[in-house]
Amino acid sequence: MFDQITTPEGRRIAYDFTAGQGPCVVFLGGFKSDMTGTKAVYLKAWAKAQGRAFLRLDYSGHGASGGAFLDGAIGDWFEDALAVITGVTKGPLILVGSSMGGWIALLLAKAIPARIVGLVGIAAAPDFTEDSMWASFTPAQRAALAAGQVELPSDYSDAPYIITRRLIEEGRNRLVLRAPLDLPFPVRLLQGTADTDVPPAVALRLLEHASGPDIRLALVKGADHRFSTPACLAMITTSVSEVLEVNHAQLR
Neighbours of 238 (CB within 10 A): 14
Would you say residue 40 lies in a domain?
yes
What gap in Å lies between CA 187 and CA 206, rounded to an integer? 11
Q: What is the pTM of this model?
A: 0.95
Closest CA to 197 of 120, 145, 128, 151: 128
Separation between Cα atoms, residue 58 and residue 133, nearest integer Å: 23
Residue by residue, pLDDT tens for the chain (252 residues) are: 899 999 999 999 999 999 999 899 999 999 999 999 999 999 999 999 999 999 999 999 999 999 999 999 999 999 999 999 999 999 999 999 999 999 999 999 999 999 999 999 999 999 999 999 999 999 999 999 999 999 988 777 777 889 999 999 999 999 999 999 999 999 999 999 999 999 999 999 999 999 999 999 999 999 999 999 999 999 999 999 999 998 767 765
pLDDT at 159: 79
Provide the mean pLDDT of the chain: 95
Amino acid at site 33: S
Residue 155 lies in a domain: no
Number of domains within the chain = 1
- Name the maximum alpha-carbon separation found in the chain: 59
Based on the number of CB atoms within 10 Å of its own CB, is 34 exposed (0-12), middle (13-18) or buried (19 or more)?
A: middle
- Structural contact between residues 100 and 72, judged by C-beta atoms closer than 8 angstroms: no
Establish if 139 belongs to a structural domain. Answer: no
Looking at the domain assignment, is residue 148 inside a domain?
no
- Would residue 213 count as lying in a domain? yes
Q: For residue 169, what are the β-bridge partners?
A: none
pLDDT per position as a tens digit, 221-250: 999 999 999 999 999 999 999 999 987 677
Q: What's the CATH code of the domain at 39?
A: 3.40.50.1820
Task: Give the whole-angstrom CA distance, residue 155 versus residue 150.
Answer: 16
Q: Where in the sequence is the domain holding 239, given as residue range(s)?
A: 3-127+176-247
160 lies in a domain?
no
b or e along 210-231 (b: 16 or more beta carbons within 10 Å of the residue's beta carbon)?
beeeebebeebeebbbbbbeee
Name beta bridge partners: 188. Answer: 120, 216
* 135 inside domain: no
| Domain assignment present for 137 | no
